[in-house]
């Protein structure tokens, strides 16, 4: 039988939705910045490595090629946004 949410994370006595929402937003923003930085590094490596060596490099890192592609796309969108000052659309929601 699988674990339920309450067995994984016991509910606190009082839950403040605003505080939890702020923690979620902060972690989401940190994750987005980390993804942008990773995408920049991946793009640098793609440019630097000889043809045919980038995908093996990505796989050695344990990153799926599609995930690497999304990170590089997000980094490019962030760079474009910085130049044009338009909001960056990062996917769903």
Write down the domain spans for the chain: 26-83
Q: Are 71 and 42 in contact (CB under 8 A)?
A: yes
> Would the pTM count as exceeding 0.85?
no
Q: Are 71 and 35 in contact (CB under 8 A)?
A: yes
DSSP 10: P
Question: Which pLDDT tens digit goes with each residue over 58-71?
Answer: 999 999 999 999 99
Question: Which pLDDT tens digit goes with each residue over 40-88?
Answer: 999 999 999 999 999 999 999 999 999 999 999 999 999 988 877 655 5
Rg (CA), the chain: 18
């Amino acid at each position: 039988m699988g674990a339920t949410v309450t067995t994984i994370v016991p509910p606190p006595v009082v839950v403040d939705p605003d505080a939890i929402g702020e923690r979620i937003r902060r972690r989401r923003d940190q994750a987005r910045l980390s993804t942008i930085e990773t995408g920049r590094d991946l793009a640098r490596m793609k440019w630097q490595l000889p043809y045919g060596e980038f995908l093996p490099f990505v796989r050695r890192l344990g990153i799926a090629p599609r995930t690497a592609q999304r990170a590089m796309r997000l980094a490019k969108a962030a760079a474009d946004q910085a130049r044009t000052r338009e909001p960056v659309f990062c996917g769903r929601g």
